[in-house]
């Protein structure tokens, strides 16, 4: 059975410092939910509040209708995968997986069968009777996953489970985790600071900073319609430019780096006339060597990466920017060359001058609101 998790106005304090203030979020049954943010943002703190290892100073946490604030961690029906796996070094792989079942007083045979089922699910049968210190990081990760799931918990919590693995294994294991989570169908809360990893596995992501959820949404929403400048620069790469917004003849004009661009689909522009922040992702620049109008820029250098070429350019006012182009065999852009850049106007995000609101999404929200 899977549960939904409802967190209402949760507060976490350590002494006088408030780490999390009035945080509310609803996690759906069977959902793969990720807490993403830089270190110190409170994501692990929140996870450990759900697990019961951290006290909740105010607010409520519910699993379905049941308030679990004061329920012992051992009674919350939680499976957890720790950052360092927390595999018991004195028990064999099988005994590790059986550990939780044995404490639940299952009959001996059932314990064995169930453990075997999960050992096979995560494909560690070959090492089942070895001691865990012989296992590689990825294998230990699988043991930890099997051990967390074997007791059929209501919720699976994962605290930076891949951060101790090398890059290649990280990609492999995140696929494994995602696949197994789908198959078991368990509500999962996942903590990571790696935005790519978060996007690869999650149904929804909460981007956190300073104990506050900055944005809650699907990976696609976070990337293409970040709620504010923080999310925009934390998820993926972004060039931040200063711009000036005006409305003329019913059209929204954005003046940025000496170029005047007409921006479609920005209905609330009239309210935001004046200085704005423009977030342009490297692939949202159009770099046409033949163009004679647009944003003038000087090529600093290019880095050929196979599929793409990354160009580093300098604008007239000295701002350094990055642009990505699909690579060609005969690329002619040498350092020092002057080019004119265009942007994919329907994709760029425009924020108010403080960088706190995305004009594209705010417009939509306000329309709905009225």
Quick check: 151 binds another protein (CB under 8 A)? yes
Quick check: 72 binds another protein (CB under 8 A)? yes
Quick check: 176 binds another protein (CB under 8 A)? no
Quick check: 16 binds another protein (CB under 8 A)? no
Among 11, 58, 71, 86, binds another protein (CB under 8 A): 86
- In the 3-class helix/strand/coil scheme, how is the chain assigned residue by residue? CCCCEEEEEEEEEECCEEEEEEEEEEECCCCEEEEECCCCCCHHHHHHHHHCCCCCCEEEEEECCEECCCCCHHHCCEEEECCCCCCCCCCCHHHHHHHHHHHCCCCHHHHHHHHHHHHHHCCCHHHCCCCHHHCCHHHHHHHHHHHHHCCCCCEEEEECCCCCCCHHHHHHHHHHHHHHHHHHCCEEEEEECCHHHHHHHCCEEEEEECCEEEEEECHHHHHHCCCCHHHHHHCCCCEEEEEEEEEECCEEEEEECCEEEEECCCHHHHHHCEEEEEEECHHHEEECCCCCCCEEEEEEEEEECCCEEEEEEEECCCCEEEEEEECCCCCCCCCCCEEEEEECCCCCEEEECCCCCEHHHHHHHHHHHC
Beta carbon of residue 168, minimum distance to another protein (angstroms, whole number): 22
How many residues sit in the footprint of another protein (CB under 8 A)? 26
Beta carbon of residue 103, minimum distance to another protein (angstroms, whole number): 3
Quick check: 104 binds another protein (CB under 8 A)? yes
Beta carbon of residue 81, minimum distance to another protein (angstroms, whole number): 9
Q: Which is nearer to another protein, 78 or 213 (CB)?
A: 78
Quick check: 70 binds another protein (CB under 8 A)? no
Quick check: 218 binds another protein (CB under 8 A)? no
Beta carbon of residue 102, minimum distance to another protein (angstroms, whole number): 9
Among 25, 60, 62, 88, binds another protein (CB under 8 A): 88
Quick check: 131 binds another protein (CB under 8 A)? yes
Quick check: 51 binds another protein (CB under 8 A)? yes
Quick check: 99 binds another protein (CB under 8 A)? yes
- Which range, of 38-46, 78-86, 201-209, 251-259, touches another protein by CB under 8 A? 78-86
Quick check: 161 binds another protein (CB under 8 A)? no
Site residues for another protein per CB under 8 A: 51, 53, 72-74, 76, 78-80, 82-84, 86, 88-91, 99-100, 103-104, 131, 133, 147-148, 151
């Amino acid at each position: 059975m899977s549960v939904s998790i409802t967190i209402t106005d949760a507060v976490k304090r350590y002494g006088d410092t408030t780490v999390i203030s009035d945080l509310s979020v609803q996690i759906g049954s069977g959902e793969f939910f990720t807490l993403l943010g830089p270190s110190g943002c409170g994501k692990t703190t929140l996870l450990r509040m759900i697990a019961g290892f951290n006290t909740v100073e105010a607010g409520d946490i519910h699993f379905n209708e049941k308030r679990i604030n004061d329920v012992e961690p051992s009674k919350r029906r939680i499976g957890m995968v720790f950052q360092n796996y927390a595999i018991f070094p004195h028990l064999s792989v099988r005994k590790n997986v059986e550990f939780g079942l044995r404490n639940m007083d299952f009959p001996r045979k059932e314990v064995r069968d169930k453990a075997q089922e999960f050992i096979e699910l995560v494909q560690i049968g070959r090492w089942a009777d070895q001691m865990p210190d012989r296992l590689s990081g990825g294998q230990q990760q699988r043991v930890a996953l099997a051990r967390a799931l074997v007791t059929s918990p209501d919720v699976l919590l994962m605290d930076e489970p891949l951060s101790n693995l090398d890059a290649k294994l990280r990609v492999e294991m995140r696929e494994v985790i995602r696949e197994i989570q789908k198959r078991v169908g368990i509500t999962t809360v996942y903590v990571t600071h790696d935005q790519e990893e978060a996007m690869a596995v999650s149904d929804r992501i909460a981007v956190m900073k300073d104990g506050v959820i900055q944005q809650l949404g699907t990976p696609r929403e976070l990337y293409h319609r970040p709620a504010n400048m923080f999310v925009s620069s934390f998820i993926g790469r972004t060039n931040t430019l200063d711009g000036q917004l005006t409305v003329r003849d019913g059209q929204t004009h954005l003046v940025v780096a000496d170029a005047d661009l007409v921006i479609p689909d920005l209905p609330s522009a009239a309210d935001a006339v004046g200085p704005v922040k423009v977030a342009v992702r490297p692939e949202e620049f159009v770099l046409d060597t033949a163009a004679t109008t647009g944003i003038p820029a000087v090529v600093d250098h290019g880095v050929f990466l196979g599929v793409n070429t990354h160009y580093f350019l300098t604008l007239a006012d000295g701002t350094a920017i990055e642009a990505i182009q699909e690579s060609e065999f005969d690329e002619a852009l040498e350092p020092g060359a002057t080019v004119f850049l265009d942007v994919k106007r329907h994709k760029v995000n425009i924020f108010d001058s403080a960088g706190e609101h995305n004009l594209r999404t705010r417009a939509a929200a306000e329309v709905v609101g009225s």
